[in-house]
Structure 1
Amino acid sequence: MTNNQNIKQIISTNLAQIPISEVMSKTILTVYEGWSIKRLSQFFRKHHISGAPVIAADEELVGVVTQSDIIKFESSDPDKQQIQKLIREYCGPFGQEADETEITRIQQRANEYCTVNSIMTKQVLSIDQESNLDLAYKLMVEKNIHRLFVTQRGLLIGVLTGMDILRMLQKS
């Protein structure tokens, strides 16, 4: 075994002995799928976070949204088709078609009109609180994600971030 493989084995063995519940954050800041992108940005800045689980009005977990989603949204201009879709979602199937002036106005203020639901990732990865850190860290690396939502019998009870794992390693 090489030194690199030895180090990986030692880390993996040590992480396998630590339950996620000892490292995860039990404070969960959630956002609503109907919030505007502008409100979401303000929420992230206020709480100094880079991502959050997204819930529907009935408190059901429906996705995850991050600062990267906001940046991707803000660096692209919604086209007329996307604006028409937004209007249909907002006004319903019986809403009227927007004219060019309305489309231009909406494009200029998209971060106030577009919602979290339109930029969030609908696939949410979670892990049971009884799992160990080795499994969590491997899943985070494999899926190239920065956070895992921690569940107990399917209910959201916490969040585990890459930074949580690094802080735990620093204390060791």
Structure 2
Amino acid sequence: MKTDLCAQDVMTPQVLMAYEGWSIKRLSDFFVKNKISGAPVIASDHSLVGVVTVTDILSFENKSSEEKGELLQEVYAEYVGQIYDDTVLQTMMSKADENCTVNQVMTNHVIKIDGKASLQEVAYVMLQHGIRRIFVTQNGIICGVISTRNILSAIAR
């Protein structure tokens, strides 16, 4: 095995990404279509702003009506500049998954690593944080992903 491997040597460069402004419904469809359980979240400028998983969607679906109402008010106060009354909110809550965004359910803290990091450093960070995949970035832009499978494949070679 080549011992001086770095993150960019073992990463998968094709990364499926979600946009922070997508609806929860669109995110769900994206996961099902691509047979994935999570994705990095990017802003309109393609900067990495979070990570979202199926667990985040399930947590959203299990929220109470009041909690979903608060999220809807947040969306419309921020993006539309308007607060809706309870009647309108009740109607909108029936389609909360179409009205709430990925930004509201994603995890803001993303564990990432530079493409020049050694394979040993990648493995250490993944173990330290108890994660099975890590995003590789260059100047704040995502350029790949490393999973435990990538690391095992590099070791097997």
Letter in 2 for 1:23: V
Structure 1 residues 110 and 66, CA gap change in structure 2 (3 angstroms): same
Between stretches 101-110 and 29-38, larger displacement belongs to 101-110
Residues of 2 paired with 1:76 and 1:166: CA distance? 38
1:39 equivalent in structure 2: 26
Structure 1, unaligned runs of 5 or more: 1-13
Structure 1 residues 20 and 60, CA gap change in structure 2 (3 angstroms): closer
2:60 equivalent in structure 1: 73
Task: Kindly report which structure 2 residues correspond to 1:135-150, keeping only aligned pairs within 5 A, or say none.
Answer: 135-150=121-136
How far residue 133 of structure 1 moved from its aligned partner, in angstroms, is 2.4
- Partner of residue 82 from structure 1, selected from 63, 68, 71: 71
Percentage of matched positions with identical amino acids: 42
Letter in 2 for 1:31: A
Residues of 2 paired with 1:58 and 1:153: CA distance? 12
Q: Secondary structure at the match of 2:145?
A: strand
Letter in 2 for 1:44: F
- Partner of residue 60 from structure 1, selected from 31, 39, 47: 47
Between 1 and 2, higher relative CO (CA 8 Å, sep ≥ 6) is seen in 2
Residues of 1 paired with 2:61 and 2:2: CA distance? 38
In the alignment of these two chains, the number of paired residues is 155
1:25 equivalent in structure 2: 12
Between stretches 15-24 and 128-137, larger displacement belongs to 15-24
2:90 equivalent in structure 1: 104
Structure 2, unaligned runs of 5 or more: none
Between stretches 110-119 and 79-88, larger displacement belongs to 79-88
What's the Cα RMSD here? 2.2
Q: Secondary structure at the match of 1:123?
A: coil
Residues of 1 paired with 2:141 and 2:19: CA distance? 17
How far residue 72 of structure 1 moved from its aligned partner, in angstroms, is 1.4
How far residue 118 of structure 1 moved from its aligned partner, in angstroms, is 0.4
2:42 and 2:49 in contact (8 A); partners too = yes
Q: TM-score, normalised by structure 1?
A: 0.77
